[in-house]
Structure 1
Amino acid sequence: MTGKVTGVRHTAAALLIAPLWAPVFAAIYAAFFWAPPSFMGTVDRTSWIGLAACAGALFGYGAIVAIGLPAHKALQRLNLRSAAAYLVLWFATGIVAWLIIFVVSFARQGLTFSVSYLAETIIHRTWVPISFGILWALVGATFWAIARPDRRSLPLRPES
């Protein structure tokens, strides 16, 4: 019983700590690559970085609940408990999530525009989707390092 409680504690700690990479990335991007949107007027740089970090935290924690925890459960069901499995799946889910968010964000301008802008972004700014994949792989690796699903015993299955 204590092994299961320890596993739950490690998973809970991983859910709290691993998404912290999202506000770190958001703050770095806001400091060096993103300008504040025009509707924010003349917001100072420090406030802009803080707002980006807050948005990154919201994104990170929302994504870990909506995508990360189901990915973790799927990997456990498939008995894929290695760090490599977490890196690959979480990198892929990060890119897929970015694709969906990107298309939905521009859908009000028409699906044709949204898809063509998506293709243009992938071709000319490949670093954008790749950075989301890297961020999510980093979150997945951190989650794995804290939760350590490879150290838990597998449930016994009755012989058939």
Structure 2
Amino acid sequence: MFKNLFRRGQADAAGDDSQEITILAPVDGEVVPLEDVEDPMFSQKMLGDGLAVRPTSDTIVAPVSGTLTQIFPTGHAAGITTRQGIEVLIHVGIDTVELKGEGFTKLVEQGAQVEAGTPLIRLDLDKLGKTAKSLVTPVIITNMDKVEQLTRSTDQSVDAATSWLLKIVPQKK
């Protein structure tokens, strides 16, 4: 479902592909192992590998610089492709697509070049707290075949655009 969201070739291929990529927290909150996310698509790593964050703030920011290759019309998920071709999916909550955009405000348009820390989505935490099954936000690398090494943060809590969540070493070409 999500693995083919990203249009190949949009990311700038310039630069050293073996350089480590730091993926920052997209929102303030508590770190949750992917295996503990209450959705098998994420917990069984069907879409890729990563970590999740239980939000304590209302703004989802770009966890990495790159091209915003996907932002869902409902505002519940976004995908960024780094210049090295690593695809990062930020999926706000569990089954939140069913809310049809209620509680989400998109702050950027698909195709935009974003820097780590760029605000992407504003959350209405009051509304979502009453209607969403869960706001746990998985941050997934959807093309793990391009990853040589993945390191997960061991922090219990993170700050958006400040704390690192994942470190990636891309496969050498």
Structure with more of its chain in helix, by fraction: 1
Structure with higher strand content:
2
Settle same-fold status: TM greater than 0.5: no
Q: TM-score, normalised by structure 2?
A: 0.26
> What is the TM-score when the length of structure 1 is the normalising length?
0.27
* CA radius of gyration, larger in: 1
